Amino acid sequence: MGQVYFYHVTQNPLLATLNTLLEKSLQAGWRVAVRGVDRGYLSHVDQDLWQRSREGFLPHGLEGGPHDVDQPILLSTSTEMPNGATCIISLEGAEVSAEEVEKADRACILFDGTMPEAVDRARAQWKTLTAAGTKAIYWSEETGTWAKKAESS
């Protein structure tokens, strides 16, 4: 039974937080689908991951390549997960269903807390998912370190 973690990003760049979550996900042995709503933005994420990785290499690919099935991390606008992802990370308010969360090891919704429309979208996602019975945890970095601020019952 999966859980969804909401990450209210305010102190660090959103893509730096994504990089950290991806590293931790791979360390946990999870395959990851990073879901966005705009392929152009995911291309930017792709480039950022090549440049930002602390180890110099964070294995990933952008959907539509010949080796999607082999990618430990697949950047996609689709709900399909050809890489067998067990962790879903949503960017830009990309939809994640309660059914997907239930099947996953973890789902994460990252949102930029400095953008009111992103906060509103995350609130709507929280309400939809928790109303469906999904266990959700809300994390905030407003004090400079990550702290759990809310948890669904």
- pLDDT over 90 at 127, yes or no: yes
In a 10 Å sphere around its CB, with 0-12 CB exposed, 13-18 middle and 19+ buried, how is residue 66 labelled? exposed
Assign 153 a pLDDT band (cuts: 50, 70, 90). confident
Query: How many domains is the chain partitioned into structurally?
Result: 1
Assign 1 a pLDDT band (cuts: 50, 70, 90). low
All residues at 6 or more sequence positions from 89 whose CB lies less than 8 Å from its CB, including other chains: 18, 21, 22, 25, 32, 33, 34, 35, 107, 108, 109, 110
What is the extent of the structural domain holding 136? 3-151
| Both tokens assigned to 23 | 């590293």
- pLDDT over 80 at 97, yes or no: yes
User: Can you give the pTM of this predicted structure?
Assistant: 0.95
**Nearest CA among 113, 107, 104 for reference residue 94:** 107
Mean pLDDT across 72-83: 95
What are the pLDDT digits (tens) for 37-65?
Answer: 999 999 999 999 988 765 567 899 999 98
Assign 94 a pLDDT band (cuts: 50, 70, 90). very high
Given this model, what pLDDT does residue 54 score?
A: 59
- Residue 84: CATH number of its domain: 3.40.50.10110
- pLDDT over 80 at 135, yes or no: yes
- pLDDT over 70 at 116, yes or no: yes
All residues at 6 or more sequence positions from 100 whose CB lies less than 8 Å from its CB, including other chains: 2, 79, 88, 107
Provide the percentage of residues in the chain whose pLDDT is more than 70.
97
Given this model, what pLDDT does residue 57 score?
A: 76
